[in-house]
Every structure is written in C-alpha cells, then in structure tokens.
Amino acid sequence: MIYLEVVRLGRLLFRASEPWSITVTAVWPRVVLQGLFFTLLGQVLGLEEHAFAGALAITMLASTVVGVADVPMADKWNRTYSRLRLSEVHIPLVFALRTLPMILHGGMAVLLVWAVAGPVSGLTLEVLPTLPIYAVMLFSTTALGLAVVAQVVGHRADVFAGNAATWLVIACSGALVPHGRLPVLDAVGAVLPVRHGLDAVRSAMAGGPWLTPLLWEAAVGLGWALVAWLAYLWQGNRARRLGLDDYS
C-alpha cells in the first residue's frame, strides 16, 4: 500500500510542477515540433527511416533522462531529503516509483511524434509493431537519468548533468549519427541506452532479428539502474555516518 502512496505522491509532485494546461499548450506542442524537426532533418540528410526511428527515441529523453532529475532534486530543494532516509521504503525505490509519471510522459511523447511525424516520414505502419521496443528504451533512459543525477545531487549541476547525458545519447546512440562515423561514438554508445534499442527497431523494420539487441538494451538499462541504486544507497549510508544529508 505504501508503494502506491509513493506513486501517488510522485504523480502529485509532477502535476504540481507541470499542470495539464502547460502539458497540453506548451509541452506537447514542443514535443511534436521537435519530433518533426528531427524527422525532416533526417530526410534532408538522406537518412529516411533511420532518422524517424531515431527521432522517436530522442523525443523521450526530455522526460526521462532530463525530467527524472527533478525527482531527487525536489527533495533537496524542499529540504525533505533527510526525511526520506527515515522511510521504511529504500530511497532508490522511492525515486524509482516516483519516476512513473515521467516514464508515462515520455511514452506519450513517443506516441504523439509517431502519430504526427509518422505520416511525414511515410513510416507510420512500419514503425507501429516496433513501438513496444520503445517501452524498453523508456525504462533504460530513465535508469540513466536517475544514475546521472545521483552523482550530482549534492551539487548544483542537475540541469547540466541531465542535458549533457541527453546530448551524449543523441550523439552516440545512432539516432541521427549513423554507426561507423566515429569509432569513439560507437564505443560510448554501446554502454548507453537507446543504441541497442534502435538497432532492434531498425532490424525489426527490415524483417531481421530484433531480440538480441533488445535484450542488450534491457541489460544496459539494468546496468544503469544498478548504478543508480548503489549510488543512492551509498549516499544514504554516507549521509547517516557523516551528517551530510540536508544538501542545503
């Protein structure tokens, strides 16, 4: 029951920072325009379906990698971080449960861009069967976001960290920069979310095998989730030991 309360609180916090009126009038139009931009940019560069699949993945990053930073940071700003340490629910689990609105928001963004930019790319139906793969990417990018913000929660670098991670994912995932252009991007992309997920999407669209890259995407997501979990636990233990837990 307490877990449902955490989820409910996460939803309330999310809606307090972003009411429906702003979601509908500012956030969704931005999502659609951004998706159209990346889709059209891909067409101009001759990337075609390569770019549309990538544009859908990029769309979710603002909600997941960047957006989830607000989950731990809200407790820092409101000076309630230390209270969380007294909770019977582990801090990493509290944060994970509170990210559900962001994950749903990211999923909605993917669907919106698919619905609007899909006809522009002419790939609406081709991409439709691959949409469940994006659900795995929602999970893996959220895990990255939580792991990244965990490293900077004691500093004033949450905006930088989340956005820098987003640009890194865009550059290294193959969303718009094809594999093989720069070996270093491919190497970094292999341990970041989205890269393997997009491989799965593109392989599925071409009628090829998609399960192995999808499992890799899930593994990368689990890896980042583990990093986040350990980071928050370590911070909690350190805060209790050294009295550093108000972050003010």
Binding interface with other proteins (CB under 8 A): 18, 22, 26-27, 29-30, 33-34, 36-37, 40-41, 43-45, 62, 157, 159-160, 163-164, 167-168, 170-171, 176-178, 181-182, 185
For the bound state, the minimum distance from the C-beta of residue 72 to other proteins, rounded and expressed in Å, comes to: 18
| Number of other residues whose CB lies within 10 A of the CB of residue 187 | 10
Q: Is 243 exposed, middle or buried (0-12, 13-18, 19+ CB in 10 A)?
A: exposed
Q: Please tell me whether residue 163 adopts helix, strand or coil conformation.
A: helix
Tokens at 86, concatenated: 């007294």
Q: Which is nearer to other proteins, 182 or 211 (CB)?
A: 182
For the bound state, the minimum distance from the C-beta of residue 214 to other proteins, rounded and expressed in Å, comes to: 25
Q: Which is nearer to other proteins, 154 or 178 (CB)?
A: 178
For the bound state, the minimum distance from the C-beta of residue 24 to other proteins, rounded and expressed in Å, comes to: 11
What residue type is 35 in one-letter code? G
Tokens at 178, concatenated: 């094809």
For the bound state, the minimum distance from the C-beta of residue 63 to other proteins, rounded and expressed in Å, comes to: 11
Q: Are 112 and 28 in contact (CB under 8 A)?
A: yes
Among 90, 13, 84, which Cα is nearest to 245's? 84
Q: Which is nearer to other proteins, 66 or 96 (CB)?
A: 66
CA distance 194 to 129: 17
Q: Are 144 and 82 in contact (CB under 8 A)?
A: no
Q: Which is nearer to other proteins, 38 or 232 (CB)?
A: 38
For the bound state, the minimum distance from the C-beta of residue 212 to other proteins, rounded and expressed in Å, comes to: 27
Q: Which is nearer to other proteins, 92 or 162 (CB)?
A: 162
